[in-house]
Amino acid sequence: MTDSIQTVAGSPAPSRTRPLAEIPALAEMAARLLRTPSALAEMADDDARHVVSYMRLIQFAAGAPLFRAGDMSNTSYLLLVLSGEVKVEAADVGTGETMDIAVLGPGNVIGEMGLIDGEPRSANCTAVDTVQAAGLSRRALDVLIAERPAVAAKLMVALTKRLADRLRALGDQLVIYARLAHEARAETARLRGSPRG
């Protein structure tokens, strides 16, 4: 199967990619990691192995960007971190300011929104140290859909559940932030002696 995964224009390229299936021990580890709670726990063992057979091994040097927020040319793949750590930063594309969101290690999936919708990346992801990842491109997903539609459907359901869980968590956080903002306004008004709130 011919498949390519590009990197951010102007960024250090990852080492040459190769089919993960060519490295059986690593493919089995990837299938196991794909089924962890930090990835797609809903996948059955055989389904995870089938998905991994469509993935490619990609290695990134320490400091190399996996992708950048706002990037439009490098969007249609997801990565399953096999080893190493990836720093995730929220970025204001207009100002370039960033805020650390998380450091993710083995078993974490990143880039799934780009795989699904092909839209620009929403965060910066940078290799903290040497990172090995299993990449699934949109092209490989299309082949998976054609060759194993039931497995592809289960993958998409698992990805959708993952995104729904994250959306719910963000909604919960938004309620907390709104409550804190309301309390801050009330306290500011109280300190000023004003009845506003």
Statement: residue 176 has pLDDT above 90? no
Residue 36, classified by CB atoms within 10 Å of its CB into exposed (0-12), middle (13-18) or buried (19+), is middle
* Mean pLDDT of the residues in the chain: 85
Pick the CATH number of 18-150 from 3.40.190.170, 2.60.120.10, 1.10.600.10, 3.40.50.740: 2.60.120.10
Provide mean pLDDT across the span 92-119: 86
Tokens of 100: 């650390």
Residue 55: burial class (beta carbons within 10 Å; 0-12, 13-18, 19+):
buried
Over residues 52-98, the pLDDT tens digits come to 999 999 999 999 999 888 887 666 789 999 999 999 998 776 787 88
**What residue ranges in the chain does DSSP mark as E strands?**
18-19, 56-60, 65-67, 77-83, 86-91, 98-104, 109-110, 123-127, 131-137
Nearest to 84 by CA among 51, 25, 26, 126: 126
196: pLDDT strictly greater than 70: no
pTM value is 0.78
Which amino acid is present at 13? Answer: A
CA angle 161, 66, 127 (to 5 degrees): 105
